[in-house]
Amino acid sequence: MYSAMLRRSIVLLIGLNAVVASLGPRHQASFWDVQAKSASKAIGWLVENQLSDCSFAILATDDSFSADVTLRLVDLMVERGLLYQVSVMAFGGPSWEPLWRATNCNIYIVIAQDLLMLEDFLNADEDAWDWQGRYVFLSQSSKSDLQRIAVMYKLQKTVDVLFFVSGRTENELTLYTHQLYTEETIKFLNVWRDGEPVTLVDVFPDKLRDLRGRELRVFTFNHAPSVFSDVDQDGFLHNVSGIDIRVVQAIGRTLNFKPVFEHPGPARWGTILPNGTHTGMVGRISNDEAEMGVGNVFVTEVRARYITFSIPYDYERACFLTPSPRELPRWMALTFPFTLNVWLLLIVTVASLVVFVPLFGKVMLLEEFAGDLHTLSGTFLYIMALFCNQATILPSRTPMQVMAAFLIMSGFLTTVFYSSNLKAFMMVKVVEQPYTSIQRIVESDYEVGGFSDFWRAIFEESSNENVKKLGQKFFSFFPDITPHLTRVASRKVVLLENTQHLTYLQESYLTNRIGESPVRLMLEECINPFGIGALLRRNSPLKHNVDMAILRMREAGLVYKYFEEVLLKGHDEAHNIDNVEYNNEESVIGQGVIALTLEHLQGAFLVLGLGLFAALCVMLTEAATALCTCMDPLQPKA
C-alpha cells in the first residue's frame, strides 16, 4: 500500500522542479532555510497527529521563503506517501483552482512570505474556494498583517484557518487562528519550537458553538402561522411569534446568539429581475445584509443559487382551500336510499311486470283479469300497490297466487330497505361531492389565488397537464389575504398555499364554535412537496451548527409542537370575518332527538304535487280529445 501511495506521489512530482524554479532561488544557509525547516516540521506534526487521511494542496507565491518551504513539504508528502498537489499562485492571471478534492478532509497549505500579497485573492468571491476546507498559512507576516487578512471575505466564511508566523527565534513559530462573529479578529493559540507545540491545544476548535450572546440580524415578515409581528417605522419587528420565529429562537439558544428581527422590505421573498439579480429577502441576504432569513421559505434550486439553505426544519405540500360542499335539497332524499343502478333496475322490473302480468292472465284464462287488470294502466296500479304493500286484489287461481306471493314478498323487501334507508338520509345532512382533484378545480369556474408569482414557475415546470392549466386561472394577491377568504367562503375563489398556512386560516378565521367551516382543505391531491428552511448568507460558516440544531429539533418533534401551539392560540383568539355565513342547526343538535320539519317532508309533498299535476294534465288531455272528437264533422253520428 505504501509503495502505491509513493507511486502516486512520484507522479505528482512531474514538473515540480519547474514549479519550484519559478519560485525563486533557494538560500541554503539563510534565515529562510531555518524557518522553512521549522514550518515543515510543524506541518509534519499536524499530519501525524490531527490531519491523517487528508489530501493536501500546496499553494505557493513567488518568493524565496515559499521556495524553501515548498520543497521541504514535497519531501514530507513523498516520504509519508500522502496525496498532494502543488500550485503556484499567479496573481493577475486566471484564478487558482485545485485539481481535485479527494477526501472529506482537504488541507490547503498556503505559503507566502507576505500575506498581504493575497489580499485581492482573499477578498474575491470565487467558487474555486473550498468553503469547508482547512487552511494553514505559513508566512513571515506580522500580527497586524494577520489582523488585516483575517477579515477578508473568504476567511470570514471559512471556519478552520491557522496562521504560522515567525516567532522570537529562528526555530520558533507562533500559531494564530482567526475569529468569527467577535470583535477580535485573531486569537493566539500557542508557540511551536523545532516543529512541535510547547503546549497541546486543539488547533481546530469549534469556534461557532458559542457566539457569546452576539446579536445577529434576521430578516422576516408576517406570514401566519410562520411569523406574527408588529413593524415599526425603522423596519424592526416587535412582539414576534410564530413557528419560524420559535425555530430561530431555539437555534439562538443553542448557539448562544440573540436574533434581531427586521423586515426585508415590500418585496418580501423577492423575485428575479431580468439582469439576474434577486430582490427581496433572498437578494438582501445574498448581499450579506443579514445573517439569516425565515418566513415560510420553500427550499428551491433557483433560490439556492443566491443563498445557502439550512436543512429543512419542516416539510410541506402546496394544497388548495376550496369551498365546502353544499347541502343537497331535502326533497332529493327520496332518491338517496338507492343508487342509480338500483333505480334503473326497479323501473325496468315494473315496466316488465306491467306487460307480463296481463299477458300471463290471458294465457291462463283467469277470471280476475276480466276487469281493470286487462289494461296496462290497471296493471300498473296493481304492480305499484304490490311494491308499496297496498295490494287489494287477491288472486283465486293457483298459478296467479304463486306469482302474486313472490311479487308481494319482493315488494315488501324493497319497501323495507327503502324506508329504513330513507329515515337515515332524512336525519342527516347530505352534501354534494367535495373537490378532491386538481382536474375538478381546472374544470370549475373558480379562480386560483396565491401569495406571489412563485407559483407560476411551478405550474410552467410541471409535467402534469392539469397543474399547467392552473396557470391560466391563477392570480396573486398581496399582502392581505382576508378579503380572499371571504371569496372562498362565497364560492368564488380557491386558494393555493402550504397546508400549515391554510389550516391556520381555516381554524382561526373560518371555523365557528361548533367546528363548522364554509371551506375545506383539499388534501387528496396537492402540488409538489417542499422543504421549509432558513436562509443563510451564501457559504455561511454557521450552516453546520444551524443544521445540527435543526436536526435535534426535528428529532424531538418541536416544530410540530410549535405549530399545534400556534394553531390553538389562533383558534382561541377567534378572528372573525364579516359576511361569512355558517349553515348550522345548533339548537337542534343539542336536543338529541331531531323533530321532522317541513324541510324533511318536502319530498312527500313534492310527490303529491307532481301526482296532482299529472292527473290534471291527463284530465285536460282527455277533455281536449273529447272536444275535438265532438267537433269533427267527419265523425259519423250514432
User: Could you report the per-residue pLDDT of 331-384, keeping only the tens digit for each?
Assistant: 677 777 778 888 888 888 888 877 877 776 666 555 554 455 567 777 777 777
Q: Give the rounded percent of residues in the chain with a pLDDT score beyond 90.
A: 31
> Predicted confidence band at 581 (pLDDT cuts at 50, 70, 90)?
low
Cα 150 → chain centroid: 39
Looking up cell 425565515 gives 294
Cell numbers describing residue 315: 416539510
Interatomic CA distance for residues 77 and 432, integer angstroms: 77
Cell numbers describing residue 23: 519560485
- Tell me which range, 2-6, 117-121, 213-217, 584-588, is most confidently predicted by mean pLDDT: 213-217
Would you state the pLDDT for residue 345? 85
CB 203, CB 189: distance < 8 Å: yes
Q: What is the pLDDT of residues 437-491, one digit of tens each?
A: 999 999 999 999 988 788 888 888 888 899 999 989 998 876 667 778 888 888 8
Residue type, 182: T
CB 36, CB 65: distance < 8 Å: yes
Q: What is the pLDDT of residues 181-231, one digit of tens each?
A: 998 999 999 998 888 899 888 888 889 999 999 999 999 998 888 999 888
Would you state the pLDDT for residue 589? 38
Sign of CA dihedral 205, 210, 216, 220: positive
Q: What is the pLDDT of residues 583-613, one digit of tens each?
A: 444 333 334 445 556 665 565 566 656 756 7
Average pLDDT estimate for 553-567 = 90
Rounding to the nearest 10 degrees, give the CA dihedral for residues 12, 13, 15, 20: 120
pTM of structure: 0.74
Would you state the pLDDT for residue 14? 31
**Residue 77 pLDDT greater than 60, yes or no:** yes
CB atoms < 10 A from the CB of 194, how many?
12
Residue 548 CB burial class (10 angstroms; 0-12, 13-18, ≥19): middle
Q: Which CA distances in Å does 627 have to 623, 632, 638?
A: 6, 9, 16
Looking up cell 418585496 gives 267
Interatomic CA distance for residues 322 and 506, integer angstroms: 10
Q: What kind and span of H or E run contains 343? A: helix 340-364
Q: Which of 551, 512, 555 is nearest to 534 (CA)?
A: 551
**Residue 31 pLDDT greater than 60, yes or no:** no
Q: How many helices (H) and strands (E) does the chain have?
A: 21, 20
Interatomic CA distance for residues 202 and 424, integer angstroms: 77
> Predicted confidence band at 162 (pLDDT cuts at 50, 70, 90)?
very high
Interatomic CA distance for residues 127 and 362, integer angstroms: 100
